[in-house]
Amino acid sequence: MIRVFVYGTLKPDGKYYQMYCRGKTLEELKCWTIGRLYALPLGYPAMILAKPPTDDRVYGYLLSFASPKDLDNLDELEGYSGIPHSHLNEYDRAKIIVYDEANQAIDKVWTYFMTPEKVKSLKGIYLPCGQWQN
């Protein structure tokens, strides 16, 4: 099973949910992770990873997929080349810990993120609420 934390256009009712997720997920759970969320002028968000101690949270969904092919499709959508920290990537991909609504750790799962430098170059606007609306 492939588990991915999503916080933007792949959330249920998001722009790309229908094409990449609908009918392919085994489970969808509301959850959060530690990070900083930014709205990009391009019309989608970016997350910067953070480490405790911090109060910064990003809220989204944990999507579980049966097929590794689904992760390949998400990599393509997110502009991830499969090579970590490559200048070719729009987003990088890493495993992070996500938490349920009772603040209990669920698991270490994949997510897509950007570096602070990339978010700054794209003129990202910090969202202190940690939620992005489509």
Query: Would you write out the chain's pLDDT as a tens digit for each of its 134 residues?
Result: 999 999 999 999 999 999 999 999 999 999 999 999 999 999 999 999 998 788 899 999 999 999 999 999 999 999 999 999 998 999 999 999 999 999 999 999 999 999 999 999 999 999 999 999 87
Structure tokens at 82: 């499969």
How far is it, in rounded angstroms, from Cα 94 to Cα 90?
Answer: 14
- Residue 5 pairs in a beta bridge with 62, 111
In a domain, 57, yes or no: yes
How far is it, in rounded angstroms, from Cα 23 to Cα 19?
Answer: 9
CATH code, domain carrying 61: 3.10.490.10
What pLDDT is attached to residue 57? 96
In a domain, 133, yes or no: no
Give backbone dihedrals phi and psi of 56, rounded to 5 degrees, phi first.
Answer: -70, 125
In a domain, 134, yes or no: no
Q: What is the pLDDT of residues 52-87, one digit of tens each?
A: 788 899 999 999 999 999 999 999 999 999 999 998
Structure tokens at 116: 């602070």
In a domain, 75, yes or no: yes
**How many domains does the chain fold into?**
1
Query: Can you give the pTM of this predicted structure?
Result: 0.95
How far is it, in rounded angstroms, from Cα 131 to Cα 117?
Answer: 21
Give the chain's length.
Answer: 134
Q: Is the dihedral of CA 107, 111, 47, 92 positive or negative?
A: positive
In a domain, 96, yes or no: yes
In a domain, 40, yes or no: yes
In a domain, 74, yes or no: yes
In a domain, 53, yes or no: yes
Strands (E), 21-118: 25-39, 45-49, 57-65, 92-99, 105-113
Domain boundaries, position 31 = 2-126
